[in-house]
Copies of this chain bind each other. A is one copy, B any other.
């Protein structure tokens, strides 16, 4: 592997001013997404992406300083999409509703392109990527942190850990659903709700029936 560690910044080299360039950048990113979905992490390579994008390899490097920059940009693209919908959560009157909203949005997002989402989730933990992404705001984690501050959420022994845990559970369940090829959003949201509210120690609406069952048993 010609793992070039030379260049350190993973930011796009130039912000496209003209719309043609924007088009190019967008098509490269989408090509990267498609390659990731069809060939996986190991199949992702710059030449393949350029080819898929219908762009020369030279052009790709014009806009992205390297392979990792592609992944970073893709993550940011997906995050932006997510944030746009997820911020509404903070408008909700209660923590319960906010979390519910967050679940809905997450499920939507992840089920849109489950494979891509899963791979990006994994890549985002790789040091060079994580470093670059650290600055980015409006993460799932950020939102959860804020939601946990609502009054109706039982206080957790350690806020940081609880935040991480909830994020991990949310992602895990939705990824698993994606793997299985699930498409029923409602059912998935319900299960995720059970897990998250269960973790937080909040019975949620659906749990009522379960609890009554337990009493009977």
Binding site for B on A (CB under 8 A): 1, 3-6, 40-43, 45, 122, 125-126, 151-152, 154-155, 157, 161, 164-165, 167-169, 171-173, 175-176, 179-180, 182, 187, 191, 194-195, 197-203, 207, 210-211, 213-214, 217
Contacts and interface: CB of A to CB of B under 8 A. Distances in A.
A164 B176 contact: yes
Given A168-B173, A175-B168, A176-B168, A161 B213 contact: no
A144 to B, nearest CB: 13
12 contacts: A3-B42, A4-B6, A5-B6, A6-B6, A165-B191, A168-B173, A168-B176, A169-B172, A169-B173, A194-B198, A194-B201, A203-B211
A168 B173 CA distance: 6
A188 to B, nearest CB: 9
Nearest to A68: B42
A210 B201 contact: yes
A110 to B, nearest CB: 13
B191 A199 contact: yes
B3 A43 contact: yes
Contacts of A207: 201
Contacts of A164: 176, 180
B199 A180 contact: no
A12 to B, nearest CB: 17
Contacts of A165: 173, 176, 191, 195
